[in-house]
Amino acid sequence: MTATQPAAEAPETAGETFDSLNPATDEVVGTYPVHTREEVEAAVERAREAARWWASLGFDGRAERLRRWKGVLTRRLAQLCTVVRDETGKPVADAQLESVLGIEHIAWAGKHARKVLGKQRRASGLLMANQAATVEYQPLGVVGVIGPWNYPVFTPLGSITYALAAGNAVVFKPSEYTPGVGKWLVEAFEQVVPEAPVLQLITGFGETGAALTKAGVDKIAFTGSTATGKKIMAAAAETLTPVVIEAGGKDPVLVDADADLDAAADATVWGAFSNSGQTCVGVERVYVHERVHDEFVAKVVEKSKDVRGGSDAAAQYGPMTMPSQLAVVRRHITDALARGGKALIGGVDAVGDRFAQPTVLVDVPEDSEAVREETFGPTVTIAKVRDMDEAVDKANATRYGLGSTVFSKRRGVELAQRLRTGMTAINAPLSFTGIASLPFGGVGDSGFGRIHGPEGLREFARSKAIARQRYTAPIALTTFTRKEKTDALVAKLITVLHGKR
Ligand code: NDP
């Protein structure tokens, strides 16, 4: 591939299409091809050639293109937000917030790739003092990105941006609910990189995503459910294709006795209900110190009364993007109430056909679905704890471990360190998502691997270690001509170096 060759057209398709709907109205907002396995393989093939050209641009060439891409997104932000609103139903202001964070990540990744991934010297050690040791991080080649619908700009960009900055080509399969946003992002990139299909779009359903995992890509970056993450990992295992899995959570908030209760209640309400609760790092459970529990609950209830989902301009959040999720939300609330829980706001009736209104649950048993499973809807459970040790134990008693939040004046860092999650925000909700230099990812059923920050760049690169002999060593170790005298000397040397009691 040379820089003068035109970018390939989007993959041709055998003809089947699907409609993208506005979930608030069911209006068809776009029609997209269902790409077949052969078409996905062809896209990956084209990407392989494009990857070589893209890698040859070097850090500076790529940084310049990413800078221009970021500029296009920023200047056409209003248009992007409209596409997001049409496909997810979320308010334009929320679409803007996720897009702004995505732009921040493009800026950070482009700017820092050389420093993080470029050649670095390493100490070679006394035994190998005649060697010069360096490590550099080379691109993997082609990365397949499978994205979700809940934050169709921010979430896939978290993988795409870092993969591109590391020198890879990307084949991107957005969710079947948000193909238009994916198309918009890819077309904006083609404007600034017209020479080669460095970022390609494939569309379709789960089968198209499955085809991508088997199409010979060098890594798969997946965001979605744990169940699908497992399927992807199993498929990728057949070809030993590495994966990074970002698979949702059951994120807790801890509220200590000395916490700023207004701030904690505000963070809980926003973290639980914004985006209709369809946030992988959204608030799902709260553990509150008994000394402030009642006061905190009263504040949450009061603030929740002002929050409403709807499609009008005054609504704070939109519809459930995926209709089937409404049944999950309803099931979790029903189970919680049947097992002794109380709804202080909302309840089963709060879950409609498109919109779910806020639900605040208390007295819910810890082993119920509403506490254990990802609800992914505008609900939150609040539980009283004796002390913060109990809060940490209960917060950690889950298979998931993505994000968490602590409200405490004195013990924020200590409590954060004890939470078994990939990220913790102290005294502000979800703040880690907006800090591009911080890695993002989970433990347990929330997945593994990291996007964002230096760790996110390295996730899409392979380390290349080089040891260069600078001069012949006075003591030759790696030869059959080595003498007993040399072995005795080595034994003495290692005793001096490491033998101290
Ligand atoms: P999925 O995990 O099923 O889908 C996520 C992405 O994977 C979509 O692009 C989907 O395509 C694709 N996909 C589905 N099956 C396969 C497969 N076998 N191989 C490769 N790709 C595949 O999530 P859903 O959208 O169905 O949501 C289900 C649940 O997942 C939610 O209720 C929520 O709990 C959780 N979730 C978590 C998210 C997070 O941020 N961590 C984001 C979204 C959902 P397609 O959409 O075309 O089927």
Segment 289-309, tens digit of pLDDT: 999 999 999 999 999 999 999
The predicted model gives 464-482 an average pLDDT of: 93
Are 238 and 310 in a shared domain?
Answer: no
> Of how many residues is the chain composed?
501
107-159 per-position pLDDT tens digit = 999 999 999 999 999 999 988 999 999 999 999 999 999 999 999 999 999 99
Residue 274, domain member (yes or no): yes
Are 212 and 289 in a shared domain?
Answer: no
Q: Is the pLDDT of residue 59 over 70?
A: yes
Q: How far apart are CA 416 and CA 398, in angstroms?
A: 16
Are 213 and 286 in a shared domain?
Answer: no
Residue 443, domain member (yes or no): no
* Predicted pLDDT at 14: 61
Q: 3-state class of 72 per DSSP?
A: helix
Domain holding 283, by residue range, is 252-420
* Predicted pLDDT at 246: 96
The predicted model gives 369-381 an average pLDDT of: 97
% of the chain exceeding 90 in pLDDT? 93
The predicted model gives 435-439 an average pLDDT of: 97
Q: How far apart are CA 180 and CA 30, in angstroms?
A: 7
* Predicted pLDDT at 13: 55
Give the Å distance between the CA of 198 and the centre of ligand 1: 24
161-170 per-position pLDDT tens digit = 999 999 999 9
Are 303 and 358 in a shared domain?
Answer: yes
Mean pLDDT of the chain: 95
* Predicted pLDDT at 12: 52
Residue 147, domain member (yes or no): yes
Name the nearest CA neighbour of 329 among 287, 282, 363: 282
* Predicted pLDDT at 294: 98
Are 67 and 151 in a shared domain?
Answer: yes
Instruction: Domain count for the chain, please give it.
Output: 2
Which residue's CA is the closest to the ligand 1 atom numbered 5?
A: 224
The predicted model gives 453-470 an average pLDDT of: 98
The predicted model gives 453-472 an average pLDDT of: 98
98, 176, 190, 246: the active-site residue: 246
Q: What are the structure tokens assigned to 326, written together?
A: 């409404």
The predicted model gives 396-400 an average pLDDT of: 97
Q: What are the structure tokens assigned to 497, written together?
A: 């170096």
Are 358 and 243 in a shared domain?
Answer: no
Residue 272, domain member (yes or no): yes
Binned at pLDDT 50, 70 and 90, residue 6 comes out as: very low
Q: Is the pLDDT of residue 232 over 50?
A: yes
Q: How far apart are CA 287 and CA 408, in angstroms?
A: 12
CA dist 222 → 98, 139, 316, 332 (Å): 18, 18, 29, 26
Residue 325, domain member (yes or no): yes
CATH of the domain at 93: 3.40.605.10
Give the Å distance between the CA of 209 and the centre of ligand 1: 10
Return the H-helix or E-strand segment holding 334: helix 325-338
* Predicted pLDDT at 123: 97
Give the Å distance between the CA of 225 and the centre of ligand 1: 5
